[in-house]
Amino acid sequence: MIRKFASRLTRRESIPSPSNGPSSTKVSRSRSVHTGWNTDPDLFRYTRGRFVSNEAHEMAIRQVNFNMNELAKRVAESVGSTLTQCARVEKFPDGMFNKAFLFTMQDGTQVVGKIPNPNAGRAYYTTASEVATMDFVRNHLGTPAPRVLDWSSKATENPVGAEYIIMEMVTGVQLKTIWPRLDIRERFEVAKSISRYQKAWMSTLFTQYGSLYYLSDLDYTNPIMHRFAVGPSTGREFLDDGRIVMEFDRGPWNSVEQYKLAVGRREIACVQNMSHLPQSPLSLYGPGTYNPSRSKKIASLRNYLRVVKYLLPVDKSISSAFLWHPDLHSENIFVHPERPSEVLGIIDWQSSEIMPLFDHARQPYFLDYNGPSMTGLDPPVFPENFDQLDPAEQAAAQSLYLKMSLSALYRRFTCATNERLFRAMEFRQTPSFEMMLFAQNILVDGEALYRSRMLELEDEWSTLPGVQAAGNPPIPFHFSAGEANAIEEDAAGAIKAMELMQSLRQSLGNLWPEKGVVSPGQYDEVKTLLDQAKAEIVGPLAHSEKDRMAWEKSWPYHG
């Protein structure tokens, strides 16, 4: 039971973010008056949707004020034109972390300009690393990343007034536009193409963990391949949920153990120093469920620090450091419209990291599979009771079977052509990996179930390969009978909180605000439904005015 819900807590890593980069869908705004682009406020703010919780803050961290006229001038110069030859500026639909614009010259040349939002990452490092990464994967790893024409990672030292990247427009169409009409054979061909790029990314082994930069953009010298070096991580885990402004070790790290220890220490630093803990996106906490606790979060993480070296894989080859694309979903992959297995571009390299292979080895998001965990090479089994299901259940079962089949094909192809990556994929299904993955987001949620897993670990300890390889040392912590009872009680409350959130999500169906965002036209309806659901959920759990007030305070969907 605990593992079932623990996997839900860690599933956060497999939910793709809305696209951070250019999209080929309809742009939201254009203006063709030369040097008049600064007058349109929609170019600088988030317009793709509305937030059902803490909207003023969410909008503020996605507002960027800069000089669009100066950006247009630099775009024109990057292709040998002048500002007066820039015929049109169009805004792509907002990503969660960036704004992207399509600039069209009078001769038809099209160029993309990208501006990071304040929530995209730390100033300077985010843009500097993204540019170096695109250069490296394009010119050293043979990946069709966009070619950068001009860029600046220093907002105060350029007339645009913001960090920016100007790059070539990627050709082809987004994979998402044609994926629904592809049969399983065609989808598998796309998966094989991406798998080949993954193998190419494994052709360069790094000696440190972090993110990639030009050597000239770092204060120290530890070069790789002459112009490049590994520096602080720009990964989203080191930025999201308020971590962006906190002080902790961001790397680079010289070993996988250093890196994994830094993850635990990062979470402790944030738990200790944040004025308010982030709201969980997976649980509804309040009277009658579990009460999130800083002290229990820190206790969980200290136990993690004690055991992490025993959780690392015995197979050192899958701990090796590689550079990887962070978000292989169908909006970030551009393909030939008639030959979809021909990948023409992979965009959005922001937040790329050099991490252990086993951290990279998740199934690509574009395969659109979020069902039961799959191990080994056996094909999925079609439901034996298929004929007894009603039409809706049959459609759901058939859809799941097809997605499982595609996932199985990808796994078999990876095993045959990139066996090292397959071994890393298999390690991700072990209790050792589960315990590492579970710990890396305890700032936000999960300490109750993590402590329960630690309780179970006492019985499993001697079976862990890392423990056996170390000569079977004793487990470095112990829970008393009283502590064990309290942990199980907390876990039961945490599971109830997750079930409440699941119930809330199901009650809204297709109107559920994924990542807290809804379309502007649905905002009022969704807010009304959330208020109604709150009354239905909180009513049976609030046994006093004090309980009701506590639920009112903890309810996540306020304005």
Residue partners of 299: CB distance under 8 A and separation at least 6: 447, 451
pLDDT at 183 exceeding the cut of 50 = yes
The pLDDT of residue 380: 87
Cα–Cα distance list, 57 to 170, 233, 242, 271 (Å): 33, 25, 12, 21
The pLDDT of residue 19: 42
Number of domains, the chain: 1
Q: Name the H helices within 418-478.
A: 419-427, 431-439, 447-460, 465-469
From CA 496, how far away is CA 378, in angstroms rounded?
34
pLDDT at 507 exceeding the cut of 70 = yes
Smallest CA-to-CA distance from 169 within 27, 339, 28 is with 27
- The answer to whether residue 100 sits within a structural domain is yes
62: DSSP letter: T
- The answer to whether residue 442 sits within a structural domain is no
State the residue range of the domain holding 85: 24-171
3-class secondary-structure state, position 259: helix
Tokens 């990247």 — which residue? 165
Please report how the helices 294-311 and 431-439 are oriented relative to each other, as an axis angle in degrees rounded to 10: 140
Compute φ and ψ for 174, nearest 5 degrees: -60, 140
From CA 501, how far away is CA 515, in angstroms rounded?
13
List, for residues 188-199, the tens digit of each pLDDT value: 999 999 999 999
Mean pLDDT of the chain: 91
Handedness of CA 363, 364, 366, 367 (dihedral sign): negative
- The answer to whether residue 28 sits within a structural domain is yes
Tokens of 402: 């097809």
List, for residues 382-421, the tens digit of each pLDDT value: 888 888 888 888 888 888 889 999 999 999 999 999 999 9
Which of 27-41, 53-67, 120-134 is the least confident region?
A: 27-41
The pLDDT of residue 16: 38
- The answer to whether residue 103 sits within a structural domain is yes
Strand partners, 343: 335
Residue 93 region by backbone torsions, left for phi larger than 0, else alpha for psi between -120 and 50, else beta: beta
pLDDT at 34 exceeding the cut of 80 = no
Report yes or no: 254 and 207 within 8 Å, Cβ to Cβ. yes
pLDDT at 13 exceeding the cut of 50 = no
From CA 10, how far away is CA 14, in angstroms rounded?
8
Tokens of 423: 């071994």
CATH code for the domain of 127: 3.30.200.20
List, for residues 259-314, the tens digit of each pLDDT value: 999 999 999 999 999 999 999 999 999 999 999 999 999 999 999 999 999 999 99
- The answer to whether residue 58 sits within a structural domain is yes
Strand partners, 209: 253
The pLDDT of residue 21: 46
Tokens 């050792």 — which residue? 432
Report yes or no: 388 and 242 within 8 Å, Cβ to Cβ. no
- The answer to whether residue 321 sits within a structural domain is no
* Beta-strand pair 173-174/333-335: antiparallel
Going across the sheet that includes 148-152, the strands are 29-31, 86-91, 98-105, 110-116, 164-168, 148-152
- The answer to whether residue 296 sits within a structural domain is no
Compute φ and ψ for 283, nearest 5 degrees: -140, 150
Which of 34-38, 44-48, 287-291, 315-319 is the least confident region?
A: 34-38
From CA 142, how far away is CA 326, in angstroms rounded?
17
From CA 537, how far away is CA 540, in angstroms rounded?
7
pLDDT at 449 exceeding the cut of 90 = yes
Report yes or no: 167 and 387 within 8 Å, Cβ to Cβ. no
E strands along 366-520, which residues?
A: 517-518
Strand partners, 499: none
Report yes or no: 427 and 433 within 8 Å, Cβ to Cβ. yes
Residue 372's pLDDT band (cuts 50, 70, 90): confident
Tokens of 275: 């004025």
* Beta-strand pair 211-214/148-152: unpaired
- The answer to whether residue 114 sits within a structural domain is yes
Report yes or no: 484 and 455 within 8 Å, Cβ to Cβ. yes
Compute φ and ψ for 492, nearest 5 degrees: -65, -40
The pLDDT of residue 32: 55
List, for residues 511-536, the tens digit of each pLDDT value: 999 899 999 999 999 999 999 999 88
List, for residues 456-505, the tens digit of each pLDDT value: 998 899 999 999 999 999 999 999 999 999 999 999 999 999 999 999 99
pLDDT at 213 exceeding the cut of 90 = yes
